[in-house]
Amino acid sequence: MGPSRRRRPERSLADAGGPPDAFFSPGLRIAFLGVLLLLAAYTAVAPLLFEPGPTAELAGRFLPLVICCVLAIGLVVQTKRAEAARRSWSERERRFRTAVEAAHCGIWEWDLATDQVFMSDVTAAMLGWGGGGTAPGSEIIDRIAPEHRDKVRSALKNAAAYGAFDVAFAVPDASGRVAWLDARGQGVGRPGDRAYRRIIGVALDITEERTAQVRVQAAENRLRDAIENVSDAFVLWDARGRLIMSNRTFRDFFALDAALLAPGVTRDVVQRKAVDAVARSQPGPDGLTEVELRDGRWIQIAERRTSEGGLVMCAADITAIKRQDEARRRNEQALQGLVSSLEASQLELEDLARRYEAEKVNAEGANKAKSEFLANMSHELRTPLNAINGFSEIMVGEMFGPLGDPRYKGYAADILNSGQHLLALINDILDMSKIEAGKMNLNIEPVSLDEVVEGSVRLVRDRAEAAGLALRVDLPALPEVDADYRALKQVMLNLLSNALKFTPRGGRVAVEALREGGRVRVSVADNGIGISEEDLARLARPFEQAESQLVKTQQGSGLGLALTKSLVELHGGRLELSSEPNVGTTASFTLPVSGSAVPGLRPRITEAA
């Protein structure tokens, strides 16, 4: 909305309400008329009042002249007084305008009869006009924000009826900025036809005040929202003990109705109602008060005086802290009981330690005796076994001629097999004893897995063919591993022997290997009878077998897997078993790769059936 054409004022406030002109006042005009009438009457009756002569002539000629001179002198004096009064009034009006406009206060006059508004320069600037002057009232109304126009019209009607005008309204400009004005005025003169015709007043720019009020109100609303939503209870009383504000946490803690906590209610009334929610109270730290509510919660109350003599109360929920304290107390009691129990256990442990030391000495002695016994047994048993195995082998081969009856040859073969089995059992027992005693010495060197596997498979191939089993070897190009050749070959033979032993005719046994980072994994898999999950955990222990002694169908001491596991672990590897009954078993172990790999290796797959 652009500024309207500026109109200069046709009259000023001084013209409308200035001091009366003394020269043209009604009293002065009546005085002049009266003097003139007296002069005319005197001139007419003067010849009749005086006898003819010099005196009559003097009175008739000079007396009117004297009176006229006196009137002229009086007129000049009166004119000077009127001009002085006018200058004084104009000076006072100028000072008034200067003082008002210096205070950014605009002056206006609204002629309700003609709907014309006179504005000073400050008032015009407030309304977005080009300058002071006179403008139609409808254009002034159009400058006001639409939502405030009816309010201004209503204020004008009230001013016309009662004389007082007081209204605040917004005036937006073309850029969207809104200025707030506070216009106050008073009807001038007596109301004609029961209404004032003119209103004179001032206009104040209250934009900053309104902006400050909005900010203060927004800050107060934010503060109220924060207090209302804080987890602690809050209540504020004035110096006379009347409620100013509280939050919902306070109402929740003390089960108070919101209608009861109306601003102005006394503290005594609220406390009489709040005490019903309190189960007990006790002094807290730092002068605070701890209160247990009837619903089981605990709160900590702090009260402080304000600078105006009021009272602020805050209450924090310390239920979790109280529960922690109670739990800590119970834990301390339990800890005391545990300490007492530990002290008793300590005494018992000391007694057990003494017993353990004695048993350890006995066990070491027994272990030494066992080692000596096994060494002696090895020597004493191996000597006759070598003779038995050697002579039975000569007899089976009929090196010195036929034995006669063919049954003798079968008996000799049974003797040879039993002797070899017994010798292998003695060797396993001795190896196991060395491992348990930590006396097993390994010759760690780079070993070709290809050679170890091929050598082991070569030794059991005849047994596989005799049992009707397919033996398959699948080895990719693999680097050398750090291992003891004899121990690694024993591990392979044990795993292959177990696979062949527990796989029925027509089954398959496969040997595979692959590289896993810095290690090589070797696996022996079969599709034999399998092992239950319950038996897997115990098979790697010495003298444990998959078959019970009552249903045993295969020979064995139960040391094979235990010895295999121990040998693998001595190499820094790990033995893993997975099996499923009637599906098969897979035994695998890992070994570290040697520092140098054998060049020129090629994947190779060999099968034996």
CA distance 608 to 465: 8
**Which residues of the chain carry a pLDDT beneath 70?**
1-68, 70-71, 74-75, 89, 92-104, 189-194, 371, 374-375, 377-379, 420-421, 424-425, 428, 431-440, 537-559, 595-609
Q: Write down the pLDDT at residue 155.
A: 92
Cα atoms in the 13 Å half-sphere on the side-chain side of 70: 11
Q: Write down the pLDDT at residue 397.
A: 80
Would you tell me the crossing angle of helices 319-397 and 406-437 to the nearest 10 degrees? 150
The pTM assigned to this predicted structure is: 0.37
pLDDT tens, 12-56?
443 444 444 444 555 665 666 666 666 666 665 555 555 565 655
Hey, what amino acid is at 457? V
Q: Write down the pLDDT at residue 8.
A: 41
CA distance 188 to 195: 11
Run of H or E residues at 315: strand 311-317
Q: Write down the pLDDT at residue 525.
A: 92
> How far is CA 182 from each of CA 171, 325, 475, rounded to the nearest angstrom?
11, 63, 101
Q: Write down the pLDDT at residue 443.
A: 83
Q: Write down the pLDDT at residue 23.
A: 45
CA distance 123 to 227: 43
Q: 313 pairs with which residues across the strands?
A: 235, 303
Q: Virtual CA dihedral for 183, 189, 190, 193, nearest 10 degrees? A: -70
Q: 518 pairs with which residues across the strands?
A: none
* Residue 405: partners with Cβ closer than 8 Å, 6 or more residues away: none
Q: Write down the pLDDT at residue 116.
A: 92
Spell out the alpha helix ranges (H) of 467-573.
Answer: 485-501, 533-539, 560-570
CA distance 298 to 106: 63
Q: Write down the pLDDT at residue 526.
A: 92
Q: Write down the pLDDT at residue 46.
A: 57
496, 524 contact by CB (below 8 A): yes
Run of H or E residues at 446: strand 445-447
CA distance 282 to 565: 69
**What length is written for the chain?**
609
